[in-house]
A and B are shown apart, each in its own frame.
Chain A
């Protein structure tokens, strides 16, 4: 019983410790924490769908931007909690449309579609702003403190983590694993493939939308090119892959070190940022295709196995 309770206890302790951080850290610490929690949530939400199904989604920033832009558009006409709810609903609707249209097709069509989705939405928003409302770029003035944003993101990250944990041990999680291994087998087992994928995709997309919505007040000024910056999709993908998209803690382990690295890179090499980013990514794809956790585990096992094998040899 205590073995079961221990991880839950540690988890609660970590969350509580993180919640206390704003009281001791300065404003730079809080900014760093907001960025990190944002990416932890993004990577976890991304891996929720793309990890087990192996459908690589390149549309993270499409949903992130939808969240941010919704907050910017309605910030003067709604109260704050309603704002987040509206952003979530819009993200849900877009996810349903995209998922219904592409998830029944082969995986590569989904990838291609998501690859251009952010660009499409950015152009549509720009077109709408220029032609209908006549303004491009909006200011966000909301009575939200950085500490408030930090705690909200912490709550969202915890939620994403718990959803991921729950799905991993539920029937839908098992169904997802079968789909990822072999779709034909999955359909013969009586799994409704399209419905399972759609459900996961929408959950993941709503979480991503909420990250954008919560972080939006940090910017004060939002424009389609800022909200739909493709680097966000790219970073999320690298982080989840580095940690290992199939593990519960994988995205978390990838997001924290890489966020620090990118923070350092963008401060020291602002011009060569995207080149280094691309090279790091290629290196990860080649060296750690299944993530650092799986890599460590395999080597640990091999090391132990060879240790066992060597033992009799020494005794002889």
Chain B
């Protein structure tokens, strides 16, 4: 029971970490608080579902379509909606409020489109639903694959951001957007790329989630909420923080669901969130900027 809970906690935590890394890019670098993030995740989940059930395309191949689509969507959304807001914002706080309001509207648009297209039913499909035995406990193969994919994406992104010049520029914007232009970084372009990259990760997360969970057109809010909590716990813009906080959240949720009650997972999530905020407002791994 303990090993089983630990393993499924890791799977869930890996997914949360993957999803939260995208949001931490959007919020930490592009400075956009995207409340429609969960809807982007669920859209990708539906895309994977449609590709699997109509075209017979397996979700791993589906990632090759979903991730670029997510990237393009993020690029377009930033260009069309966020650029005017960035241009008119007086300071960071007013950009935050404006982006929260604009993406709150976007949330309802996305959700409405999905409700019209797919209805409000619970959706899932059966892919690689075969038992695999690890450390004496059985786990569905799709969950193991989900964890592997999360590790691959997370590791790839980490290497991309720390080992390439391009990634270093993005991190420079996250650390100090005021000083980044002094070393020749185009902050607006970096923000747009980070936002698009975040949407691409959201799409990857959506496909991974669709492999082993049921979802509805309205379940995006919960994912946004959890990703936000992970981002804040880990420290805004901090990839390693998002990774660790995601794993912690996944483990806590699974243990609460296994040993206490499945109906109380969200309450547990909130309790952790509040505890972290009150104890370390800059996050477990973040540093106070002021």
Contact = CB atoms under 8 A, between A and B. Distances in A.
A106 B33 CA distance: 14
A102 B81 CA distance: 29
B225 A272 contact: no
B261 A131 contact: yes
A159 B225 CA distance: 34
Nearest to A112: B228
Nearest to B113: A275
Q: Which 6 residue pairs across A and B have the least CB separation, nearest first?
A: A278-B108, A275-B112, A278-B109, A127-B263, A281-B105, A274-B112
Interface string A39-60: 0000000000000001010100
A230 B104 CA distance: 11
Contacts of B274: 101, 113
Contacts of B111: 274, 278
A280 B109 CA distance: 10
Contacts of A170: none
A234 interface: yes
Contacts of A241: 101
Contacts of A289: 88, 98
Contacts of A279: 105, 109
A124 B84 CA distance: 40
B267 A123 contact: yes
A120 B270 contact: yes
Interface string A107-134: 1110111011001100110110011000
Interface of A: 54, 56, 58, 101-102, 105-109, 111-113, 115-116, 119-120, 123-124, 126-127, 130-131, 230, 234, 237, 241, 271-282, 285-286, 289
Max chain B C-beta neighbours (<10 A), residue from A107, A112, A280, A286: A112
Given A109-B281, A115-B224, A289-B98, 9 more contacts: A111-B33, A113-B273, A119-B221, A120-B266, A127-B263, A127-B264, A273-B112, A277-B112, A278-B109
B225 A123 contact: no
A108 B277 contact: no
B104 A237 contact: yes
B173 interface: no
Given A120-B266, A278-B106, A286-B102, A108 B33 contact: yes
Given A108-B96, A119-B222, A127-B264, A58 B270 contact: no
Given A123-B263, A123-B267, A272 B105 contact: no
A126 B263 contact: yes
A53 B103 CA distance: 21
Given A123-B266, A241-B101, A286-B84, A116 B108 contact: no
Q: Do most interface residues of chain A lie in helix, strand or loop, or is the interface mixed?
A: helix
A165 B142 CA distance: 59
Q: Do most interface residues of chain B lie in helix, strand or loop, or is the interface mixed?
A: helix
Contacts of B221: 115-116, 119, 230
A241 B98 CA distance: 12
A105 B277 contact: yes
A274 B277 contact: no
Interface residues of B, number: 43
B102 A278 contact: no
A278 B35 CA distance: 13
A70 B93 CA distance: 36
A273 B108 CA distance: 9
Interface in B87-144: 88, 93, 96-98, 100-102, 104-113, 115-116
27 contacts: A54-B93, A56-B97, A101-B274, A106-B281, A107-B96, A109-B277, A111-B100, A112-B225, A112-B229, A115-B35, A116-B228, A119-B225, A119-B266, A120-B266, A123-B266, A131-B263, A274-B115, A275-B113, A277-B108, A278-B105, A278-B110, A279-B109, A280-B105, A281-B104, A281-B108, A282-B109, A289-B98
B169 interface: no
Contact of A285 (B35, B98, B107, B264): B98
A275 B266 contact: no
A119 B35 CA distance: 14
Nearest to A123: B266
Contacts of A108: 33, 96, 100
A9 B278 CA distance: 49
Contacts of A127: 261, 263-264, 267
Interface string B213-225: 0000000011011
Interface string B250-290: 00000000000101101100100110011001000000000
A119 B228 CA distance: 14
A115 B229 CA distance: 11
Nearest to A128: B263
Contacts of B267: 120, 123-124, 127
B25 interface: no
A130 B96 CA distance: 39
Max chain A C-beta neighbours (<10 A), residue from B85, B116, B270: B270
A282 B106 contact: yes
B159 to A, nearest CB: 30
B112 A234 contact: no
Nearest to A109: B277
